[in-house]
């Protein structure tokens, strides 16, 4: 059995699991290609000829060019493929088992202030592209709801309820949201105003029509950020911006976590935004007084 044979079996196992989303399958295919590209002779090598020393030699070179997350995931794939060979009785131990993962540093968030964000949206709307306003609407929608870009692409008019004051987030029609569940995000005042305006522009539109008329707005965001002298932000950074503003406004982290669609009770949100909660608490403490 060559490594290529074992890799094919492993990828088939991944594709057979209905619980794994299409994007995840595609990602692991990308990781496989990265592994084979970084180790050109690996695919045709017999599994029995792979050694601990050989795996370490490859890892020492690959770690210099790959990001920590890409390096760690490539190691994971290498181990999984070799585990297939163990299950088939080709080898008895995994030569990649001793490879050490690289620590992943948490990304430092460089988010705009409220004033910068207002100027940022105004600049996006002032762009000369025919979709400048549509791009600004999408950016606002991401910032006011905390949706992922893929979720925002699927929002239809039917999902917006001014009666209950909520936005239904369904995600991909076939695979749903990232955690597979529909969630409801309350409409903060800015979100209510945005959706009211967007839906009023075409009152006769089909209720199944999509709310946002563009699928992404990164180029428009890059231009606007550069124009006003703001740090570049991505679609996903707007999700962080939503969470940050919510926490700074006094919303507790477990509630923000539910709005974001996390299922861990707030553990990830606390890890990501916990420092904001402490800063907010310190600021609020200055309002407490025992003076008569």
Kindly report, residue by residue over 137-162, the tens digit of the pLDDT: 999 999 999 999 999 999 999 999 99
The better pLDDT of the pair 139, 176 is held by 139
pLDDT of residue 212: 96
Helix (H) or strand (E) holding 184: strand 183-186
Rounded Cα distance between 40 and 56, Å, is: 15
pLDDT of residue 39: 96
Looking at the chain, the whole-number percentage of residues with pLDDT higher than 70 is 95
Q: How many CA atoms lie within 13 A of 240 on its CB side?
A: 19
Lowest mean pLDDT: which of 176-180, 229-233, 239-243, 272-276? Answer: 176-180
Lowest mean pLDDT: which of 11-15, 172-176, 236-240? Answer: 172-176
Average pLDDT over residues 213-235: 96
Q: Name the pLDDT band for 177 (thresholds 50, 70, 90).
A: low
Q: Name the pLDDT band for 61 (thresholds 50, 70, 90).
A: very high
Rounded Cα distance between 257 and 254, Å, is: 5
The better pLDDT of the pair 181, 190 is held by 190
In this predicted structure, the answer to whether residue 100 has a pLDDT above a threshold of 80 is: yes
pLDDT of residue 179: 60
| pTM of the model as a whole | 0.73
Tokens representing residue 283 in the block: 């600021």
Q: pLDDT averaged over the chain?
A: 90
pLDDT of residue 189: 95
3 state DSSP class of 167: strand
In this predicted structure, the answer to whether residue 196 has a pLDDT above a threshold of 80 is: yes
DSSP bridge pairs for 48: none
Cβ atoms within 10 A of the Cβ of 39, count?
20
In this predicted structure, the answer to whether residue 278 has a pLDDT above a threshold of 60 is: yes
Cβ atoms within 10 A of the Cβ of 85, count?
25
3 state DSSP class of 180: coil
C-alpha torsion sign, points 262, 266, 269, 271: negative
pLDDT of residue 52: 96
Cβ(78)–Cβ(55) under 8 Å? Answer: yes
Tell which residue, 149, 68, 146, has the closest CA to residue 105.
68
pLDDT of residue 109: 77
In this predicted structure, the answer to whether residue 176 has a pLDDT above a threshold of 60 is: no
pLDDT of residue 217: 97
In this predicted structure, the answer to whether residue 204 has a pLDDT above a threshold of 90 is: no
3 state DSSP class of 46: strand
Q: How many residues in total does the chain contain?
A: 292
Burial of 249-264, coded b for 16+ CB within 10 Å and e otherwise, reads eeeebeebbbbbbbee
Cβ(218)–Cβ(131) under 8 Å? Answer: no
DSSP 2: B
Q: Name the pLDDT band for 171 (thresholds 50, 70, 90).
A: confident
Cβ atoms within 10 A of the Cβ of 140, count?
25
Tracing tokens 């890409």 back to the chain, one arrives at: 70
Average pLDDT over residues 173-193: 82
Residues 6+ apart with CB under 8 A from 252: none
Looking at the chain, the whole-number percentage of residues with pLDDT higher than 90 is 70
Rounded Cα distance between 96 and 80, Å, is: 9
Q: Which CATH class is domain 114-284?
A: mainly alpha
Cβ(154)–Cβ(168) under 8 Å? Answer: no
Kindly report, residue by residue over 104-138, the tens digit of the pLDDT: 777 777 889 999 999 999 999 999 899 999 999 99
């Amino acid at each position: 059995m060559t490594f290529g044979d074992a890799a094919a079996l492993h990828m088939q196992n991944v594709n057979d699991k209905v619980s794994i989303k299409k994007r995840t399958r595609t990602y692991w295919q990308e990781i496989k290609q990265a592994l084979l590209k970084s180790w050109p002779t690996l695919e045709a090598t017999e599994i029995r000829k792979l050694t601990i020393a050989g795996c370490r030699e490859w890892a020492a070179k690959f770690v210099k060019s790959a990001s920590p997350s890409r390096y760690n995931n490539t190691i994971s794939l290498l181990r999984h493929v070799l585990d297939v060979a163990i299950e088939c009785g080709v080898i008895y131990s995994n030569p990649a088992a001793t490879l050490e993962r690289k620590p992943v540093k948490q990304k430092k968030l460089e988010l705009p202030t409220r004033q910068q964000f207002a100027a940022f949206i105004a600049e996006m709307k002032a762009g000369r592209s025919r979709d400048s306003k549509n791009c600004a609407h999408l950016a606002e929608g991401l910032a006011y709801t905390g949706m992922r870009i893929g979720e925002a692409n699927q929002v239809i008019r039917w999902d917006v309820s001014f009666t209950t004051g909520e936005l239904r987030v369904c995600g991909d029609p076939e695979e749903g949201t990232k955690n597979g569940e529909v969630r409801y995000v309350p409409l903060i005042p800015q979100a209510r105003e945005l959706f009211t305006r967007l839906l009023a522009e075409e009152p006769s539109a089909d209720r199944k029509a999509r709310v946002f008329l563009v699928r992404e707005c990164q180029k428009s965001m890059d231009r606007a950020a550069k124009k006003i002298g703001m740090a570049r932000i991505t679609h996903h950074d707007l999700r962080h911006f939503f969470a940050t503003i919510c926490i700074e406004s006094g919303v507790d982290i477990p509630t923000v976590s539910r709005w974001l669609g996390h299922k861990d009770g707030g553990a990830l949100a606390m890890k990501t935004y916990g420092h904001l909660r402490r800063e907010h608490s310190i600021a609020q403490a200055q309002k407490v007084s025992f003076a008569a």
